[in-house]
Structure 1
């Protein structure tokens, strides 16, 4: 009694599953890494391209809740917000600086 065809089919299925998983992780990895937190814009410094934000803990940066100054990744982000506005944002270290990378 031989089970060779069943083993081959199982191996092909395993290869397909692992390939699909690798593909999903490669396209989804950056999205998973981006953490959005709630915050409130305290100050907008358009000239320096900086935002002061009172925010919840930033677990990806190992920071507790606090108020701090961030640079923005894109100049257009400054125009999206005003002092007193509630936001959800993502931040990360970019070139050694803590930077707002996205605003919802």
Structure 2
């Protein structure tokens, strides 16, 4: 019985993490790229996982500078970001389809 409870808890945790990851995807548009500083300016809709309820334009750091080489100003993107001690950081980004 204990094993069944552990398996059920693990499945519930996995499902909640998958939902959180899906909900973290934000749609936006590239407004500016600063490769030297490792930053990107994105105009985007609400980012509830970051506590942003309204659309806005904001400067983000990027976790991996290679992300900046994959996009150009004007591109529509989907991205994931997290709040870090140094500010908001884009952790994943790809061109929107």
| TM-score relative to the length of structure 2 | 0.80
Alignment match, 1:88: 78
- Residues 40-72 of structure 1, C-alpha deviations (whole Å, 9 max, x = no match): 000111001100000010001111210110000
Alignment match, 1:47: 36
Alignment partner for residue 45 of structure 2, among 56, 59, 63? 56
Q: Which protein is bigger by CA-based radius of gyration?
A: 1
- Tell me by how many angstroms 1:30 deviates: 4.5
Q: How many residues align?
A: 91
- Tell me by how many angstroms 1:91 deviates: 1.1
- Tell me by how many angstroms 1:27 deviates: 4.6
Query: Which blocks of at least 5 consecutive residues in structure 1 are unaligned?
Result: 1-11
Structure 1 residue runs of 4 or more that deviate by more than 6 Å after TM superposition: none
Q: Residues of 2 paired with 1:81 and 1:42: CA distance?
A: 11
| TM-score relative to the length of structure 1 | 0.75
Q: In structure 1, the residue corresponding to 2:49 is in which secondary structure?
A: helix
Q: In structure 2, the residue corresponding to 1:83 is in which secondary structure?
A: coil
